[in-house]
């Protein structure tokens, strides 16, 4: 196990900058998830740590030691790939033994290690089968077993669960999390699935266009997004973004300039950003509820589009400035259309500038 | 659709049959007819040079004569020796060169093309080319030997030298084929697998023997089979380089066959020998095809 430091890590492919001067420290034993849309540089960063990609500039350090020049074979990192990378001509047992044999570990130790890892992953029934005949879930388990069998410095996981059925994926996610905690191995997990990131990570590193947008514990990214992109990318359903203009007693929302009264402190805070020509109010659907007393602070009249049920939760859609927004139905007044009041939880509302910057101010406690 | 089909009165099966028919006709004409007539000729005593002399049915006498001929056994032993030597040399060199050519370096593609050239030459030309190179008095090989202070060798006049000379020529011509197929096999290995081997800490040698080679096996077995059959039939090089000599010490079976068939024109006897050769090649092929099937199942 090792702590990993990335210093001004930059990777360019021709004119394209895949990773743009990233600085990041991974604590020993930490589970970090790189999250972001395709092409954001998360996999490239992972491959740099693995030694499969050479940085254009910057340094990679394991426990303070620069490893840029070390070949992948010498870094003692483990990696689980997105698509199955088990050796198809070897049985699961031989696959797991492979990294140990490659390092010249003795037979008796190999046997011990295989027994140990077989127990953890419950692999006994498939140990002598070839990977080609196994279902994707079992294959990834075997790949995981192969990766942890030799106490790696860092465990790298490149969307390892994406080829697995939704139902089984949830289960694997939990197993993975428990395993990581049990082994205490520094882990980097790459995904574009924010739910996966939120449920797995000690720390989420949200990336976009080769840069880190925000890095922090899942709750921090959820509650305190660094910008509009972070707010949009994290949370399901996605955050509602309402275009707004500042007025004397609050905001005018959307093209229709629907009035939204704000309490004085909030209004005062926003006034500090009065120079912004357009601001966006962001509120998660979880923090919008159907009903309220029109005209009160935090209550907005909106045209209701419809309601629907997802599992035990009931949601509704409304329209602002041509965009569909969502909220939760907590108490039902039975109305099914027309103008309805909705209540925004003003403690959870976030504001953004036209360019996506988060608008912040000192909140009086 | 059903209506149209009825109007033409052709079922799908019939249409399929019609499409297969031309290929089937060619196959019957080019393979089945010659094969059956070969079997028939092998039971006759006759020569196509003397069509006036009626062919005499002799049963399996031709086979009996051939299989009890100690000279022919010597031919088989020599052919086997040549096949093992030339195929081994071609595979060791071919796989080695293909492995080196996997790397990216300047001029690799040019070098690759250069390596492929001998394969495109006419075998008889290659034979004469090497015959001159191995000429004991003024050949290039002995000249190079003399540069290193080595004595002149009688390359083509001594059987134990001649076989190596022909192996050299055959390997020069056909190693490219092994390079080509081995390159295809190496490149066919998924990138993820190679990266997994890197991550797993496999040294180049470990990776080559435990990952690259086993995963390339199906293609290499096919290459091996083709080279084996071809080496078994090698005729032109011996014809051009040694003429089967000294004596008949470098006569291969197929060289013997062509001599019986088109030198002495013992058509019946030649047919019988061709049948024997065919059985051996089919037998060998079946062993490797079965191995190939076992390799590819389950992957």
Domains of chain B: 71-298 (1.10.3720.10)
In this prediction, residue B157 carries a pLDDT of: 81
- The pLDDT assigned to A51 comes to 92
For chain B, residues with pLDDT lower than 50 are 1-5
Reported ipTM: the value is 0.80
Beta bridge partners of B6: none
Q: What is the pLDDT of residues A57-83, one digit of tens each?
A: 999 999 989 999 998 888 999 999 888
Across the interface, do A85 and B201 touch by the CB < 8 Å criterion? Answer: no
**pLDDT value for A85:** 82
Banded pLDDT at A25 (limits 50, 70, 90):
very high
State how far the alpha carbon of A154 is from the alpha carbons of A72, A227, B172, in Å: 12, 30, 49
To the nearest whole Å, the CA of A188 is away from the closest chain B CA by 15
User: E strands along A263-322, which residues?
Assistant: 279-283, 288-290, 299-310, 313-320
Q: CB of B299 within 8 Å of any CB in chain A?
A: yes
Considering only CB atoms, B199 lies closest to which of A72, A103, A133, namely A72
Q: Which residues of B touch A132 (CB under 8 A)?
A: 298-299
Alpha carbons A42 and B72: distance in angstroms, whole number: 70
Nearest to A99 among B192, B200, B215 (CB): B200
Asked if the model's pLDDT at residue A278 lies above 50, the reply is: yes
pLDDT score recorded for residue A220:
94
Backbone angles phi, psi at A207, to 5 degrees: -120, 155
Q: Are A4 and A10 in contact (CB under 8 A)?
A: no
The bridge status of strand A350-353 relative to strand A279-283 is: antiparallel
- The chain B residue lying nearest A147, using CA atoms, is B200
Candidates A50, A89, A146; nearest CB to B214: A89
Rounded to a whole number, what is the distance in Å from the CA of A86 to chain B's nearest CA?
7
**Structure confidence by residue, pLDDT tens digits, A169-228:** 888 888 888 888 888 899 999 999 999 999 899 999 999 999 999 999 999 999 999 999
Q: Residue A339's closest CA among A291, A304, A294?
A: A304
Taking contacts as CB-CB distances below 8 angstroms, the residues of chain B near A133 are 298
Name residues whose C-beta falls within 8 Å of residue A39's C-beta, 6 or more positions apart in sequence: A18
**CB-CB neighbors (< 8 A) of A84 in chain B:** 192
Would you state the pLDDT for residue B4?
47
Contact at CB, A51 and B198, closer than 8 angstroms = yes
The arithmetic mean of pLDDT across residues A125-150, rounded, is: 89
Q: Touching check for A133 and chain B: CB below 8 Å?
A: yes
Q: Hey, what are A166's tokens?
A: 């939704």
Beta carbons within 10 angstroms of residue A243's beta carbon: 18
Interface of A with B in 27-86 (CB under 8 A): 50-52, 71-74, 76-79, 81, 83-86
H/E element, A59: strand A57-62
Q: Is the pLDDT of residue A55 over 70?
A: yes
Compute the average pLDDT of residues A303-308. Answer: 88
10 Å Cβ neighbour count for A115?
10
Contacts of residue A130 in chain B, CB cutoff 8 Å? Answer: 298-299
Q: DSSP H helical segments within chain A, as ranges?
A: 42-50, 92-102, 107-121, 136-148, 166-183, 194-200, 218-223, 228-233, 264-271
Closest-approach residue (CA) in chain B for A79: B199
Residues of A in contact with B220 (CB under 8 A): none
Residues 156-215 of B with CB under 8 A from A: 190, 192-193, 195-203, 206, 210-211, 214-215
pLDDT of residue A365 exceeding 70, the answer is no
**Across the A/B interface, how many CB contacts are shorter than 8 Å?**
73
Closest residue in chain A to residue B192, using alpha carbons only? A85
Whole-number Å distance between alpha carbons of A202 and A194: 14
The answer to whether residue A249 scores a pLDDT higher than 60 is yes
């Amino acid at each position: 196990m090792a702590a990993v430091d990335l210093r001004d890590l930059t990777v360019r492919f021709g004119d394209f900058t895949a990773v743009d001067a990233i600085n990041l420290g991974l604590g020993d034993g930490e589970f970090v998830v790189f999250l972001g849309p395709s092409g954001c540089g998360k996999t490239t960063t992972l491959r740099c740590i693995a030694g499969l990609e050479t940085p254009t500039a910057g340094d990679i350090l394991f426990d303070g030691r620069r490893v840029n020049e070390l070949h992948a074979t010498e870094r003692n990192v483990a990696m689980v790939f997105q698509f199955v990378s088990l050796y198809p001509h070897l049985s699961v047992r031989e696959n797991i033994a492979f990294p140990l044999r490659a390092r010249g570990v003795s037979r008796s130790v190999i046997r011990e290690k295989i027994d140990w890892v077989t127990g953890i992953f419950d692999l006994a029934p498939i140990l002598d089968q070839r990977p080609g005949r196994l279902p994707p879930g079992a294959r990834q388990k075997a790949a995981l077993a192969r990766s942890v069998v030799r106490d790696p410095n860092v465990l790298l996981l490149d969307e390892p669960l994406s080829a697995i059925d939704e139902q089984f994926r949830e289960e694997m996610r939990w197993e993975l999390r428990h395993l990581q905690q049990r082994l205490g191995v520094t882990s980097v997990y790459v995904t574009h699935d924010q739910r996966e990131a939120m449920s797995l990570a000690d720390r989420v590193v949200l990336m976009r266009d080769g840069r880190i947008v925000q890095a922090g514990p899942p709750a921090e990214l959820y509650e305190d997004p660094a910008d509009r992109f972070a707010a949009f990318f994290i949370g399901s359903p996605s955050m509602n973004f309402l275009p707004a203009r500042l007025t004397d007693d609050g905001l005018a929302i959307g093209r229709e300039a629907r009035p939204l009264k704000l309490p004085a402190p909030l209004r005062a805070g926003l006034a500090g950003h009065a120079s912004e020509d357009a601001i966006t109010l962001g509120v998660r659907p979880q923090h919008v509820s159907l009903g309220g007393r029109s005209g009160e602070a935090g209550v907005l009249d909106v045209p209701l589009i419809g309601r629907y049920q997802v599992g035990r939760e009931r949601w509704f859609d409304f329209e602002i400035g041509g965009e569909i927004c969502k909220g939760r139905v907590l108490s039902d007044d039975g109305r099914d259309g027309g103008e309805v009041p909705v209540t925004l939880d003003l403690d959870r509302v976030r504001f953004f500038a036209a360019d996506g910057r988060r608008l912040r101010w000192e909140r009086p406690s | 659709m059903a209506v149209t089909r009825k109007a033409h009165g052709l079922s799908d099966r019939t249409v399929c049959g019609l499409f297969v028919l031309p290929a089937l006709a060619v196959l019957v004409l080019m393979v089945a007819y010659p094969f059956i007539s070969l079997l028939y000729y092998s039971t006759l005593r006759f020569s196509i040079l003397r069509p006036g002399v009626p062919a005499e049915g002799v049963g399996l006498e031709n086979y009996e004569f051939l299989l009890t001929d100690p000279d022919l056994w010597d031919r088989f032993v020599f052919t086997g020796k040549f096949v093992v030597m030339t195929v081994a040399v071609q595979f060791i060199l071919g796989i080695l060169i293909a492995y080196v050519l996997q790397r990216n370096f300047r001029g690799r593609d040019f070098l690759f093309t250069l390596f492929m050239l001998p394969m495109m030459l006419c075998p008889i030309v290659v034979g004469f080319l090497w015959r001159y190179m191995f000429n004991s008095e003024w050949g290039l090989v002995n000249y190079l030997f003399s540069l290193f202070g080595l004595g002149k060798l009688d390359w083509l006049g001594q059987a134990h030298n001649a076989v190596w000379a022909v192996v050299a020529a055959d390997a020069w011509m056909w190693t490219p084929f092994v390079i080509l197929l081995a390159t295809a096999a190496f490149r066919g290995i998924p990138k993820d697998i190679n990266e997994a081997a890197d991550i797993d800490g496999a040294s180049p040698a470990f990776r080559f023997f435990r990952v690259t080679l086993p995963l390339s096996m199906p293609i290499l077995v096919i290459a091996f089979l083709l080279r084996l059959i071809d080496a078994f039939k090698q005729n032109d090089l011996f014809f051009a380089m040694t003429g089967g000599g000294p004596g008949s010490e470098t006569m291969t079976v197929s060289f013997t066959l062509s001599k019986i068939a088109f030198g002495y024109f013992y058509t019946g006897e030649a047919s019988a020998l061709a049948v024997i050769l065919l059985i051996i090649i089919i037998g060998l092929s079946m062993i490797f095809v079965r191995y190939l099937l076992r390799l590819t199942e389950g992957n």
